[in-house]
Homo-oligomer: A and B are copies of this chain.
């Protein structure tokens, strides 16, 4: 048994299923990967053109300032004002990061001390819990409530989970793996609760522009209720830039000043070519994200239909994101279920146990990376093994 702090951290489950999938693929199997929460769209061509131009400039190969290049920070702040209605967004409140994971790590390390508690809603996004554990803090799990087949937040449960050690609450909306979308009323009450207990709200908004109508994404930072909001953002899905590692952290200026220290120690700065790609891509984010949303809607509807037709699952209809969480009707544990599914059908999906004890008994199917025809094919394979 490993002696260090990673002992309690489970190996990223996506890596485990992907590894098995790669083995099957190398044996000639046709794999349909519904595992990773990615979007199967390349970035806007303007972004790639900007990189082609950028790499001819010497500055592209040097470090940028820790928080990012001035022009990219300014442009990202504009995006936060126009698209996310965070009226006070400015470069002073902002830093560019190596993706949302790093933004979240910056936020956790900045707002806590070792031994503090941070509340997460379960089923949770595992990397958030890992980051909290790395920071020598304790993740405290509050289960999502249910309203019919939809997930919801029970503020009484949150209130009861708050202790003197609690420093923050993590909210992911649209949620991973739940597809949960927080409405304005819930957000206002959550912000009030945070204000009352002097907690930080760590708001992961990775899927903000991938919210499905009639829902609309609301950032808690756009409400004038709570100052201590950290917005964790990504362009991995909303601009197809996952491999480039670019995201951001937005928060009060004094928090960002502290988070820059963390960033300097962990990665120095976001990759400069990725910053250039982002600067160009933000100009077309409306076109890109609306195309992504309508494609995702078709894929979501197909995925829902084929999973329902299989009779194996109860579906939680997602209100945003690139995946859905399905309950296994047979109550079989999720890891053997997913392993069996992969071996029998070549379909990769993520066992719900990866998302904590409230995820057990579920499977996360990502539809973002497969065309409708492949999702239909997946449906036929699942129907055949039933």
Contacts and interface: CB of A to CB of B under 8 A. Distances in A.
Interface of A: 2-6, 9-12, 15, 18, 36, 38, 40, 42-43, 48, 51-52, 55-56, 58-66, 98-99, 101-102, 105, 109-114, 127, 130-131, 134-136, 236, 240-245, 254, 257-262, 264-274
Contact of A127 (B4, B9, B257, B265): B265
A344 to B, nearest CB: 24
Contacts of A134: 109, 135, 262, 265-266
5 contacts: A5-B114, A11-B260, A40-B58, A63-B242, A98-B102
- Total copies of the chain: 2
B55 A261 contact: no
A261 B11 contact: yes
A76 to B, nearest CB: 18
3 pairs of A and B residues whose beta carbons are closest in the complex: A243-B272, A130-B265, A114-B136
Contacts of A258: 2, 4, 6
B12 A66 contact: yes
Contacts of A18: 65
A16 to B, nearest CB: 11
B264 A110 contact: no
A373 to B, nearest CB: 17
Q: Which of A6, A12, A56 has the largest number of chain B CB atoms within 10 A?
A: A6
Given A127-B264, A261-B130, A5 B60 contact: no
A242 B65 CA distance: 12
A105 B265 contact: yes
Given A66-B15, A109-B134, A61 B243 contact: yes
Given A245-B271, A266-B266, 11 more contacts: A2-B258, A48-B55, A52-B55, A60-B243, A64-B243, A98-B271, A131-B265, A131-B266, A245-B245, A245-B268, A245-B270
